[in-house]
Structure 1
Amino acid sequence: MTKADIEGFFTRLQNANPEPVGELNYVNPYTLLVAVALSAQATDVSVNKATEKLFPIADTPEKMLALGEDGLKQHIKTIGLFNSKAKNVIEMSRLLIERHGGEVPADRLALEALPGVGRKTANVVLNIAFGQPTIAVDTHLFRVSNRTGLAPGKTPLAVELALEKRIPKPYLRHAHHWLILHGRYICKARKPDCWRCIVSEFCKFKEKTPDPALR
């Protein structure tokens, strides 16, 4: 995309959804960190269902440790890889108390040093909890960036760095959410809904899907 295309692309997304929010439920930075860690290779819906009863009784690292690994497993056993995730969340909670006084650090390197926390998870937490203009590249965002020509790249990190360079500063704060939501509901993996896409005129995807009602 050209600079003009990118400006138009994000202006449209902003006008349609000025204050986008993530779809994971949380009550504070700690529960956000836990929810994002649990969402790896799982849907937000499945995580929200599991944490609905978990977070009212374990919304701090101290309460999570009191619940224990076995207790945590009972709450998240419907989520994929729940055994390893439970182990990571308990150890993460212990380290948050030991290293950060029980608080979630607003620093990527400190977050990535925690068990079960990679760059993507850290970027989500920094963006949502602390308002930093980070971009967490998941499968949706990776697909949208490459398919549309917004920021092509062969790896998630390459796409992330390209997006940070190409997206105008006024849009960086919310770009992460706009692109993920767009990929989840419009620019879908198997067949994008191009006929109802508000940014299709800026998109460089050649094989645009026609309106099925007109076939």
Structure 2
Amino acid sequence: MRWRRCGEHGALLECESLEQAMAARAAVEAARPSDVVELVPGARTLLVEARPGSRALDEVRALVEDLTRPPATEIREITIEVVYDGEDLELVARDAGISTQEVVELHTGAEYTVAFTGFAPGFGYLTGLPEPLQQSRLDTSRTRVPAGSVGVAGEFTGIYPRESPGGWRLIGRSDTVLFDQHAERPSLLAPGDRVRFRSVR
């Protein structure tokens, strides 16, 4: 792991892997240092912003440097219903060398963890995607991906919370509301949450 100063009151932890970054975030959230203002997890980074004049960055550094395994924390489990009729379902099946039904079975049979959020409010990057479904993004991104579209790209799967451009391979769609700015908890998904998908017609 490598630390870099980021502004006057922040630091960026650069990790060797997604798993290490997730473990670091979990450790800091479990310890809840009072002077940590914000945590922003990424695929292989963790940005920490501290209260001015505090020693929170030193506390966080000590936490993650002593980290041997992620702390035990209470985990939320979320099930999301999906209609598997995406534009790229046959493409994903063909590149994986399996049937479209097997794509659905693989996608619904796995348990996923929200590694981090970003791209758009409510968009969670979910790890745990079975290896045959770990495929590259489209060569050319779409200018319009409908809200609720379920896609795969690289090691991640995710759901577009609103209409936007995007280059992920689309395998289905969901009516689940992922972001509601008026809700007490605006984003349905948060880092560390466990997610399963259920096929519906």
Q: Report if TM-score (shorter chain) is over 0.5.
A: no
Please identify which structure carries the higher helix content: 1
Please identify which structure carries the higher strand content: 2
